[in-house]
Structure 1
Amino acid sequence: MKVGVILVGTELLNGGMIDTNSIYIAEELNKYGLEMEFKIVVRDFKDEIYRAIDYCKKNVDLIIMSGGLGPTLDDITKEVIAEYVNKPLVVDAEELEELKDKFIKGGYTFTEINKKEVEKPEGSVTFKNDVGMAPAVYIDDIVAFPGVPRELYNMLPKFLAWYTKEKNLIDDEIYIKDLITYGMPESILDKEVREFFTEEGIYYEFLVKDYGILIRLQSKRSNKNKVEKIIKKIYNKIGKFIFGEDNDRLEGKVVELLRENKLSISTAESCTGGMLASRLIDVSGVSEVFYEGIVSYSNESKMKRLGVKKETLEKYGAVSEETVREMVMGLQTDVGLATTGIAGPEGGTEEKPVGLVYMGIKIKDRVYVEKRVFKGDRNKIRERTVSHTLFTLIKILNEDV
């Protein structure tokens, strides 16, 4: 079954907002074997929305729309859908009362203009919005969601579960398995794993994320056993580059390993400026293992907070193996992480270029230091430093603890 996606919002075309909804929609469609054939981005203009719907109707089986379901004048998506299917806009009394109740519980004042949020073409099926106001609306193979990402995330899974059952599309659901890798380029990954995909109906692709590269395996659920055999072969060949599966993330795996081994952790950061601590603190339950994060950006801070020797800084500089070693030794927990580097765009020299970083890892009385030169802008260098530090810690914990 083919799907067309229409993203409604002038802000998506004038640079005011970045589209992330279509990425999420595609990922959810994959789970049901539904193919997104194309996406169209249109402004909040009635004729443009109408033409987009008309084009989709002639080319795909299902239209998914996002945006334009709010209460303001430029929120006209449902109005255009109603015109296209030749149905009047109506308001369900029960849905209106539910909307008013949301306003009261949220401490807001309900006004007549907000009524627009529960208008729908006559005969529509609606899907409850648990995190916002306007419900999703479906009629005649057209479904419309609010443009707010968390509201789409709340309702799209409900809709797809209902729609695939309604259309009898769940006889053999799609089976998807993600292996999350770090430290191996996409081209080498492809070279390493392609030999395992010889059976018809089992596919793979690579998805480059900011936390690693996913090897996504996809087939029908009836082929699950065959997919799992391929996964075992991939682990046997490149297992040291795989840190997790599906929803795993580097920081989550670190916290999991620390909790399993009853180890505490703290961080000392210079070039990453707290990003390392922030990634760890994003993980629920981290309070069991995380002690403190120190951003020791200046030399004075490195000396005062971490006990880095003045002579070390004068002889080797702040960006050096010797300094990061003393930084990480200045942390009092079982595990310590330290970073120092030149994130740029200024400050680099021939001897110490922009992108040079040193990462220190202490596990009890052992210290590991790694030197890397990362490419990219200031933020990308910092992000890569954080990800590489976490991945290296995972490898050490898996091997040595």
Structure 2
Amino acid sequence: MKASIILVGTELLSGGTVDTNSIFMAEELNKYGIEIKYKLTVKDTIEDIMIALEFARKNSDLIITSGGVGPTIDDITKDAVAKFLGKRIIVDEEDFKVMKQKFDERKLKYTPNNIKQVEKPEGAVSIENQVGMCPAVYVDDIVSFPGVPSEVYDMFPRFLKWYAEEKKLLIDEIYIKDLLVYGLGESYLDQQISELFTEEGIDYEFLVKDFGIIIRLQGKNSNKNIVEKISEKIYNIIGDNIFGEGNDRLENLVITKLKEKKLSLSVAESCTGGLLAGKIVSVSGASEVFKEGLVTYSNEAKMEKLGVKEETLKKYGAVSEETALEMVKGLKTDVGVSVTGIAGPLGGTKEKPVGLVYFGLKVKDNFKVEKRILVGPRNKIRERATLQGLFYLNKMLKGNA
């Protein structure tokens, strides 16, 4: 089965808004074996939406639109779909009741133009919006979603489940295994694993995410054992850089391991400026193990809060193996991480370039310092240093099982 995605919004073409919905949709569609044939972005005009619908109808089985279903004058996607199908627009009374109830419960002011959010082409099926006001609507193999990502993330998986049942898609025939990798690039990964895929019908792809790279293995359910055997071979080749599978994330894995071992955690940050602590506390239940995060940005703070020696800073500098080690030794919990580096764009030298980061790690009486040179603009280096610190800590905790 083939699908086309139509992204509606002049702001998407002007650069005012970045599309993330189609990326999420692609991953969900992939689970059902539905191939995305085309992705089109159009302005908020009936004419442009109609042209896109006509093209998509000729080239795909399912048409998915995102955006242009809200209450304002430029929200015309459902009008365009109705015109394209030769149907009239109606107000769904049940959807209207649900929307009004949400306005009342959330103490929001209802205005007459909000009724546009529960209009739909005659005969359309509504997909409940558990996050926002406007339901998605499906009619004649065209489904229209709002453009708000959180609402798409809520409705799209439920729509696909319903759609697969309606169309009797054989979703059980698809088997997907995601291996999560950190610290290796796509080209290196491809070089290492490409020769493993000799069986027909077993595919792989790389999905680059902010938390690492997903190696996605996919085949028919009848070939599940083959996929698993290939997965084992990949572990044998690059296992040190595979930190999890499926929905695992570094911060969740770290918190889980700390809880299992009944260990407390604190962090001392310089160049990351609190990003590491923020990542940790994003995990529900982190308060059970996380004691504190110190942002010791200046040399004075490193000395006062962590006991870093003045002579260490003078001799080796704030960005050094020695300082990172003294920083983590200054933390009083069972487990600790320190980060000190040069995020740039200023401050780098030939000996200590921009992107140089040292990580101090402590698990009980075991101490370790890691060094990395990260690339990218300032904030990207800070984000990568945050994940790198979690990656090192996760590995160290596994080693102390």
- The answer, yes or no, to whether TM exceeds 0.5 is yes
Shift of 1:152: 0.8
Deviation, structure 1 residue 188: 2.3
- Superposition map of 1:126-205 within 5 A: 126-170=126-170, 172-205=172-205
Supply the distance in 2 between the matched residues of 1:348 and 1:59 (Cα, whole angstroms).
Answer: 53
Matched, 1:253 2:250: no
Q: In the TM superposition, what is the alpha-carbon distance from 1:230 to its structure 2 partner?
A: 1.9
Q: Determine if contact 1:172/1:222 at 8 Å carries over to the other structure.
A: no
Q: Which amino acid in structure 2 is aligned with residue 350 of structure 1?
A: K
- Structure 1 residues 210-221: aligned runs within 5 Å: 210-221=210-221
- Letter of the 1:349 partner, please give it: T
Do 1:5 and 1:40's aligned partners in 2 also have CA atoms closer than 8 Å? yes
Please give the per-residue CA displacement for 1:299-329, whole angstroms capped at 9, x wherever unaligned. Answer: 1111111111112112221111111111111
What's 1:377 paired with? 377
- How far residue 221 of structure 1 moved from its aligned partner, in angstroms, is 2.1
Q: Secondary structure at the match of 2:236?
A: helix
* CA displacement at 1:48 relative to structure 2: 0.6
Determine the C-alpha separation between the residues in 2 that align with 1:62 and 1:169.
Answer: 13
Q: d(CA) in 2 for partners of 1:389 and 1:98? A: 46
Cα distance in structure 2, aligned partners of 1:346 and 1:8: 41
1:124-154: CA deviation from partner (whole Å, max 9, x where unpaired): 1111111111111111111000000111111
1:315 counterpart residue number: 315
What SS is found at the alignment partner of 1:13? helix
Contact 1:129/1:136 (CA < 8 Å) preserved in 2?
Answer: yes
2:116 aligned with 1:116: yes
Q: Secondary structure of the residue that 2:14 maps to in structure 1?
A: coil
Is 1:359 matched up with 2:365?
no
Q: What TM-score do the two structures reach when normalised by structure 2?
A: 0.97
- Alignment-derived partner of residue 41 in structure 2: 41
Residues of 2 paired with 1:153 and 1:170: CA distance?
Answer: 23
Structure 1 vs Structure 2: percent identity of aligned residues?
62
Letter in 2 for 1:276: L
The code of the aligned residue for 1:111 comes to T
The whole-number CA distance in structure 2 between the counterparts of 1:184 and 1:107 is 49
Find the counterpart in structure 1 of residue 54 from structure 2: 54
The 5-angstrom pairing of residues 278-357 of structure 1 reads 278-357=278-357
Task: Mark the runs of 5 or more structure 1 residues left unpaired by the alignment.
Answer: none
Alignment root-mean-square deviation, CA: 1.2
After TM superposition, give the deviation of residue 171 of structure 1 in Å: 5.8
Q: Which has the higher mean CA deviation after the structures are superposed, 182-191 or 260-269?
A: 182-191
Alignment of 1:225-236 (within 5 A): 225-236=225-236
Please give the alpha-carbon distance, in whole angstroms, between the structure 1 residues aligned to 2:209 and 2:52: 30
CA distance in 1, matches of 2:153, 2:251: 23
Secondary structure of the residue that 2:109 maps to in structure 1?
coil
Preserved contact between residue 30 and residue 174 of structure 1 (Cα < 8 Å): no
Partner Cα distance (1:346, 1:238) in 2:
35
Q: Given residue 85 of structure 2, which amino acid in structure 1 is its aligned partner?
A: V
Give distance in 2, aligned partners of 1:70 and 1:201. Answer: 42
Following TM superposition, by how much is the alpha carbon of 1:386 offset from its aligned partner in structure 2, in angstroms?
1.5
Q: Which residue of 2 aligns with 1:265?
A: 265
- Deviations, residues 256-298 of structure 1 (Å, cap 9, x unaligned): 1111111111000000101111111111111111000000001
Cα deviation code 1:346-375 (max 9, x no counterpart): 011122111111110011222111122211
> 5+ unaligned residues in a row in structure 2: which ranges?
none
Secondary structure of the structure 2 residue equivalent to 1:87:
coil
User: 2:393 corresponds to which residue?
Assistant: 393
Equivalents in 1 of 2:164, 2:367: separation in Å? 54
Name 1:95's counterpart in structure 2. Answer: 95
Report if the CA contact (8 A) 2:33-2:171 is conserved: no
CA contact (8 A) 2:32 2:171 kept: no
